[in-house]
Structure 1
Amino acid sequence: MKRRIIVWLAIIAMLITSVLLINYKTVERWLIGSYQPKITATTTKQAERKPANYNYDVAKQPTWTDILKARQHANQVATVGVIAIPSINLYLPIGKGVSNTVLALAVGTMRSDQVMGDGNYALAGHNMDDGRTLFSPLYSKGQAGQMVYLTNFRKVYAYQFVSRETIAPTEVSVVANTTDPVITLITCDYTGSHRIFLRGKLVKTYTYAKTPDKIKTALTHTYNQ
């Protein structure tokens, strides 16, 4: 009897593993979509003071097991704000730095000296090649003319994309700081061999209290949904 129970448990474990392997994209989306941090003016101010990893060279495209591990350590993500691009249904938390944990669940800041609304605010995110998760909508639908909103819940910064380019991974100059206030968003193409780079210019700044309700609704939207 005991041996039969062990055999059945092994069979069930194999079936569960098989289902997970077959539907790994669904599992990835569910794990990432389950990350819904509570982000406020207080939490972003605290997150801004935390140390972070900016070594993008060690960042890797996550597997569902990597995402599961990141989800278990989600408290390590210092969320400094939110990005919303309503026209392409992109709503994401912004984590500080580009560690694998940050990039498995959010988009990450690419320099330690970044300040929203000042100079070049550069963000990196993974293209999960599903049109909806992390920076996948940016790759499949991002283009010049679209509005981008950032907030730390103290102020809101409205940018408008002015260009989209395909660049080599070695073209790191796009991340360098600038005199003019711009936004830089970077993700991989579907092959992983090149990067998609979108640049936007700052067009308006609001205090959070005086931000139009439509923009506030976008900035408090469910992430990765």
Structure 2
Amino acid sequence: MRKWFKRFSWLLLVLVGLALIFHNQIAFYTLSKFQPTVTQKSVAKGKEKQGNYKWEKVQSLSAQQVLKARMEAGKINFIGYVAIPEIGLNVPISNGVDNINIALGAGTLKENQVMGQGNYALASHFIQGSSGRNILFSPLYYSGKVGQKIYLTDLKKVYEYKATVYKVIDPHQVEVVDDVPGKKMITLVTCDYTAEAGRVLMQGTLEKEMNFKDTPKSVLDKLVMDDNRWVK
């Protein structure tokens, strides 16, 4: 019994040690595999839920936040997806910005935003290091450029934008999320590699609006995570 207990203790110590060493890798791997269930019903419910818009309280992304967010993912009502197929960006959207929801996807930066109207502004995290370059808004930092197609959907409509602006801005330039009279735009914001000194900004103008059911499958395959989740 004593021998068994000693072996078990050593095994436990080894496992704990490995978990500590690979903590970040484990967290970001679980995030890369995250596929929420998004349906027209959940979108409608999510639109009714108020978000948190205190940007200044959002912290830099950590492995602890990712793991906590994964445990609390069931509390989030996602309201659609944003995707830039050319660079592999594809994340779910929810209302507001806090440490939980933008650890799992993109958050709206203003209250009562409507897809296809005004300046639809979204933010998400950038993850440093090669293991995170395809997660959340990291592809925006590494591969974003003017001319790329940006898609939004709430599973009823699909909105196609074309990127017209791509640059690094000062973190205090919050006016980039304001509506511009007469324009239908999208604004995507994430950190640059410094995490504090700059923000990567992509803006696009609306070019096309389609009914979800009429959207080519070639677009839908890149826009939503799993066609088994297109539940009416």
Per the alignment, in what secondary structure is the counterpart of residue 42 of structure 1?
A: helix
CA pair 11-170 structure 1, distance change in 2 beyond 3 A: farther
Per the alignment, in what secondary structure is the counterpart of residue 47 of structure 1?
A: helix
In the alignment, structure 1 residue 124 sits paired with structure 2 residue 123: yes
1:160 matched residue in structure 2: 162
1:138 matched residue in structure 2: 140
Per the alignment, in what secondary structure is the counterpart of residue 92 of structure 1?
A: strand
Structure 2 residue identity aligned to 1:162: T
Per the alignment, in what secondary structure is the counterpart of residue 79 of structure 1?
A: coil
Q: Alignment identity in percent?
A: 34
In the alignment, structure 1 residue 203 sits paired with structure 2 residue 207: yes
1:221 matched residue in structure 2: 225
| Cα deviation 1:165-212 (Å, max 9, x = unaligned) | 111111111112223110100000111121101111111000111111
In the alignment of these two chains, the number of paired residues is: 221
2:176 matched residue in structure 1: 174
Tell me, in whole angstroms, the C-alpha distance in 2 between the residues paired with 1:14 and 1:110. 44
1:48 matched residue in structure 2: 47
Tell me, in whole angstroms, the C-alpha distance in 1 between the residues paired with 2:137 and 2:95. 16
CA pair 84-19 structure 1, distance change in 2 beyond 3 A: same
* TM-score normalised by length of structure 2: 0.89
| Cα deviation 1:77-108 (Å, max 9, x = unaligned) | 22010111110011111111111110111111
| Cα deviation 1:106-130 (Å, max 9, x = unaligned) | 1111111211000011110100123
Per the alignment, in what secondary structure is the counterpart of residue 206 of structure 2?
A: strand
* Conservation of the 8 A alpha-carbon contact between 2:28 and 2:66: no
Alignment of 1:21-60 (within 5 A): 21-60=20-59
Per the alignment, in what secondary structure is the counterpart of residue 38 of structure 1?
A: coil
Q: Name whichever of 16-25 and 51-60 sits farther off.
A: 16-25
* TM-score normalised by length of structure 1: 0.92
CA pair 22-42 structure 1, distance change in 2 beyond 3 A: same
Alignment of 1:69-108 (within 5 A): 69-108=68-107
Structure 1 residue identity aligned to 2:127: M
CA pair 202-12 structure 1, distance change in 2 beyond 3 A: same
Let me know the Cα RMSD of the aligned residues.
1.6
Per the alignment, in what secondary structure is the counterpart of residue 179 of structure 2?
A: coil
**Is there any run of 5+ residues in structure 1 with no aligned partner, and where?**
none
In the alignment, structure 1 residue 61 sits paired with structure 2 residue 63: no
**Is there any run of 5+ residues in structure 2 with no aligned partner, and where?**
227-232
Structure 1 residue identity aligned to 2:188: L
Tell me, in whole angstroms, the C-alpha distance in 2 between the residues paired with 1:184 and 1:177. 10
What displacement does 1:63 show? 1.7
